[in-house]
Every structure is written in structure tokens, then in C-alpha cells.
Amino acid sequence: MKKLLVLLFSLFFLFSGTKVFAAQGFDCQNIKFPNLSALGFKLRNETFYDDNRLGVSRSYEHSKGPIFTYYSFDNGYDVINQDVLDSTLASGVGDIFNIYKSPKMSNFQLQDDARYLNIDKFNEFGMQEFINQGVFMTAIGDVASGLETVLEIITIGTDGKCIYKVRSSSFIPLVQKNNLKKFMQDFEYVLIEFYQYNAIFKQTNS
């Protein structure tokens, strides 16, 4: 984890001072979203940010998987390249760390296990523009029922117009604490379904 953190934060500080310009004329808030209820997705929250550069976010809950939040934004970058994606991922990982420094998460402690997400499964479905790379980690905390594990995941991607970020936090019951692989597979399943249905919706509404 330490090597990963050094790399991520090096990228973050390297690009955090990069000058940004107006977007390429594409409004990352102006996105048509399909109705996903037939696939088991329930919309929990939708936010259009006052600063247009921050785009829009949508939080979903899936009947067979985790709650996740999907973001579409450009941060005002004129060009979205790999350097921008790397720095955005590093910033997102930093946000996760800050969450666990807050008083409301004082019962939980991030573990020394942050790793890059294996995106081979996503690539098989042609999701390279949606998921360029990702990081996952776990936290363990004391709750009324005993020790509980939280699986934290963040992914970043782009189609050259907008940056697409997905954040997921899944509570793993104590009885399944050694079954992390299943929860990772649930995340993959949900995201693949989400991507495929959105891709079809975009094609038929373009």
C-alpha cells in the first residue's frame, strides 16, 4: 500500500497546480440518464453542482450489489489526458482518507491494503473509456454487532469530453468478512450492467 500511496500523492501534488481552462464546449451536466429500475437500480440521490465544472452526480442502490455514486464532470480542463486521470484518481483516494479522519468514522480504521483495481473484466466489455483505472481498500471498525469491514472502491475514466468517476462503499457483514472476492465481483457485475444499459441508451438517443 505504501508504494501505491507514494505514487498517488506524487501525482496529486504534481498536477494539483496545473492551470485549467474552459471545457471543450461539452456540458458534462447535460446528460440524459435512462430509467434503470427494471435492472434493479434504485436512484437514491441526484445533484447538479452550482459550479458547472463539477458536473452532476447520481447515487444508485442495486438489489444485488452495492450502493455507488456516478459522477460526470470535467473540472474545467481543456484537455483530459492520462495525467489528468492520474491526478483525479489520486485526489479521490485522498478524499477517502479524509473521510476516515472525520469524527463520524472514528470507530473505523483504514487498513494498509490499498491496491489498484484489476480492470481486465471491464476491458472484456469494452469499458476502457468508462474505467481507465481504479483503487480499492478496506476499513475495519467496531459496531454494535462486533467488527465490521467496509470495502471502498474508486474508479476513473474518460471519453475525452468528461471525466467519469464511480465511488462505492460496501459494508461487509461479520459473517462474510473473509469473502471480499464476492463483494468485488458484485461491484463488477453492477458496474457492467450500468455501463451496458447506459451505452445502449446513448446510442438510441444520440
Segment 113-158, tens digit of pLDDT: 999 999 999 999 999 989 999 999 999 987 766 778 899 999 999 9
What's the CA dihedral at 20, 94, 6, 134 to 10 degrees? -80
Contact between 154 and 165 under an 8 Å Cβ cutoff? The reply is: yes
Cα separation, 131 vs 201, whole angstroms: 18
pLDDT band of 164, cuts 50, 70, 90: very high
Predicted confidence at residue 157, as pLDDT, reads 95
Local confidence band at 167 (pLDDT 50, 70, 90 cut-offs): very high
Neighbours of 49 (CB within 10 A): 13
What is the pLDDT confidence band of residue 12, given thresholds at 50, 70 and 90?
very low
What lies within 8 Å, CB to CB, of 146 at 6+ separation is 174
Q: Please tell me which residue, 111 or 65, carries the higher pLDDT value.
A: 111
Region 102-117 average pLDDT: 92
pLDDT of res. 172: 83
Q: Among 1-15, 43-57, 133-147, where is mean pLDDT lowest? A: 1-15
In this predicted structure, what is the pLDDT of residue 206? 57
In this structure, which amino acid lies at residue 73?
F
Residue 20 has pLDDT above 80, yes or no: no
46 vs 26: which has the higher pLDDT: 46
Q: Angle at Cα 172 formed by Cα 171 and Cα 177, nearest 5°?
A: 155
What is the pLDDT at residue 148?
84
Record the cell numbers describing residue 204, joined without a space: 438510441
Q: What is the per-residue pLDDT for 173? A: 75
pLDDT tens, position by position, 172-199:
877 676 778 888 888 888 888 888 887 7
Q: What is the DSSP string of 93-138?
A: HHHHHHHTTSGGGTTEEE-S--EE---HHHHHTT-TTT-SEEEEEE
